[in-house]
């Protein structure tokens, strides 16, 4: 997909050469910065009742008189912000989806900024994404391959920066979606490691992949316990983007890489278990973020850590009531084998200590409880560090990839007490997302830490079933903000 900007003025919109012109308009009829011909079409549509200036409304006009573009779409935005702009773009793009549009031009009545340009790239890339790795009968890819964002001279540089950043981030989002969408027999821990190596070769990242023997030497008893039930070999992946001086403390991203989660001996119900191929969404988002970093090259050191395995029931599988020893030396009573994500993450968090990190952010499809608490719009954010939490919330807002901060009060830790180990791996049903975060917190005493529970945002169910690629946008914006 080729994205570019073009400097123009409102009086020249009708002369735009493209297969379609998509114009995002305001709800206020007095604020439309359009040329006379376009304004006449818009006014006539409003007066005839074909279009109401209400957010979400659209109008398609074929072969509009006086225009060089063969197709015209008006889409109404709720306000001038980037989020409303993106929503309007999505609605407008739906009008053009099945048409033979190769070149799309986009204009807006609002002044455009970097965030608008980035939102455009995200909306278009999402609209044209088609999964076909194991579905050769999938619909043909959309013919749209060129998008021009029309802007004024004052906004041109900002728009160009936004387009560049948007292309890098959406490339990462697309990679994360593609990895998570692939069935578990097509995307194993070994495939995850191979993808990391491919990225390393393409962008100059250092990549190290540890196997079972390496993890045994390190004392990763918790990670090993989860992996022992599967015939697929575990992989512990470490990626390094070296954008600053060697002594500069890195940002460390830790992604949960359970490529399929049956629940183990605490087996899940059969319904919707197919979606547990998405349980490596955290790992996919770390890979996607590194893909974006490869394009943007921020002057910051970033480490990616991905513990990856399957969680399977077998004669070798860890059992409820087993006690394992984590890399930190703390012992864990495995009360529920379906709470396996925290068991692999805790050893990865301990491993992160060796990098003397500036901050550590772990990302995981960790708990169904987070879905109950927040639904599918916002990821759950947990951190005892106010400044770090605020930075992540701001990054999510800038990326239109929002999170919501959840509590970490000490009282929640009571639920993790065990008579037979330093801690249990689960508490009661109440506050399950919080007690999961409290478990991880026990392994983070030596660095600033935050946890993102993306169980509700990493994929969609139903007719639109598929990975979203979140929170690649949030993570990339967080890193870029620290690199300034």
Active site residues: 268, 342
Percent of residues in the chain assigned helix, strand, coil, to nearest 5: 40, 20, 40
Q: Please name which of 148, 169, 376, 446 lies closest in space to residue 285, comparing C-alpha atoms.
A: 169
Contact between 258 and 309 under an 8 Å Cβ cutoff? The reply is yes
The DSSP secondary-structure symbol of 413 reads G
Q: What kind and span of H or E run contains 478?
A: helix 472-483
Instruction: Return d(Cα 359, Cα 81) in angstroms, integer.
Output: 31
Report the C-alpha gap between 85 and 75 in whole angstroms.
9
Length of the chain: 484
62 exposed, middle or buried (CB, 10 Å; 0-12, 13-18, 19+)?
A: exposed
Phi (first) and psi of residue 44, to 5 degrees: -65, -40
Which secondary-structure segment (H or E) carries 238? strand 235-242
> 353 Cβ partners below 8 Å, 6+ apart?
446, 447
The gap from C-alpha 11 to its chain's centroid, in whole angstroms, comes to 39
DSSP 134-196: T-TTSPPPPS--EEEEEE-GGGHHHHHHHHHHHHHHHHHHHHHHHHHHS-TTTS-HHHHHHHH
Residues 20 and 96: their CA atoms lie apart, in Å, by 8
């Amino acid at each position: 997909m080729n994205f570019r900007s073009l400097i123009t003025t409102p009086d020249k919109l009708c002369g735009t050469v493209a297969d379609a012109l998509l114009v995002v308009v305001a709800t206020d009829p007095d604020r439309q910065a359009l040329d006379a011909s376009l304004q006449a079409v818009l006014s006539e549509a409003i007066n005839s009742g074909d279009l109401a200036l209400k957010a979400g409304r659209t109008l398609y006009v074929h072969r509009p008189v006086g225009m060089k573009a063969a197709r015209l779409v008006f889409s109404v935005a709720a306000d001038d912000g980037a989020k409303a702009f993106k929503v309007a773009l999505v609605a407008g793009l739906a009008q053009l989806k099945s048409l033979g549009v190769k070149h799309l031009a986009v204009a807006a009545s609002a002044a455009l900024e970097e965030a608008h340009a980035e939102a455009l790239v995200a909306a278009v890339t999402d609209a044209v994404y088609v999964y076909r790795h194991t579905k050769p009968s999938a619909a043909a890819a959309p013919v749209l391959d060129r998008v021009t964002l029309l802007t004024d001279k004052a906004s041109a540089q900002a728009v160009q920066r936004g387009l560049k950043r948007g292309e890098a981030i959406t490339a990462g989002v697309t990679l994360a979606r593609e990895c998570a969408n692939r069935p578990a027999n097509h995307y194993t821990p070994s495939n995850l490691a191979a993808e990391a190596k491919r990225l390393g070769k393409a962008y100059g990242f250092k990549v190290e992949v540890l196997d079972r023997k390496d993890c045994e030497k390190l004392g990763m008893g918790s990670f090993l316990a989860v992996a022992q039930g599967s015939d697929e070999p575990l992989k512990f992946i470490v990626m390094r983007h070296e954008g600053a001086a060697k002594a500069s403390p890195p940002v460390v991203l830790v992604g949960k890489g359970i490529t399929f989660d049956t629940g183990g001996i605490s087996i899940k119900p059969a319904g919707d278990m197919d979606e547990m191929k998405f349980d490596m969404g955290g790992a996919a988002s770390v890979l996607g973020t590194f893909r974006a970093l490869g394009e943007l090259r921020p002057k910051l050191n970033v480490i990616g850590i991905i513990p990856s395995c399957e969680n399977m029931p077998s004669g070798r599988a860890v059992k409820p009531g087993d006690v394992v020893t984590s890399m930190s030396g703390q012992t864990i009573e495995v009360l529920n084998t379906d709470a396996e994500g925290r068991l692999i993450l805790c050893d990865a968090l301990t491993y992160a200590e060796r990098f003397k990190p500036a901050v550590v952010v772990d990302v995981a499809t960790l708990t169904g409880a987070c879905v109950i608490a927040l639904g599918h719009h916002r990821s759950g954010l947990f951190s005892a560090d106010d400044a770090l939490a605020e930075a992540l919330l701001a990054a999510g807002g800038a990326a239109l990839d929002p999170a919501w901060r959840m509590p970490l009060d000490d009282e929640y830790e009571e639920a993790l007490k065990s008579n037979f180990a330093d801690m249990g791996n689960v508490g009661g049903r109440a506050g399950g997302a919080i007690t999961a975060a409290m478990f991880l917190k026990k392994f983070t005493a030596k660095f600033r830490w935050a946890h993102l529970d993306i169980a509700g945002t990493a994929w969609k169910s139903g007719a639109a079933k598929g990975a979203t690629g979140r929170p690649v946008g949030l993570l990339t914006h967080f890193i870029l903000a620290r690199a300034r």
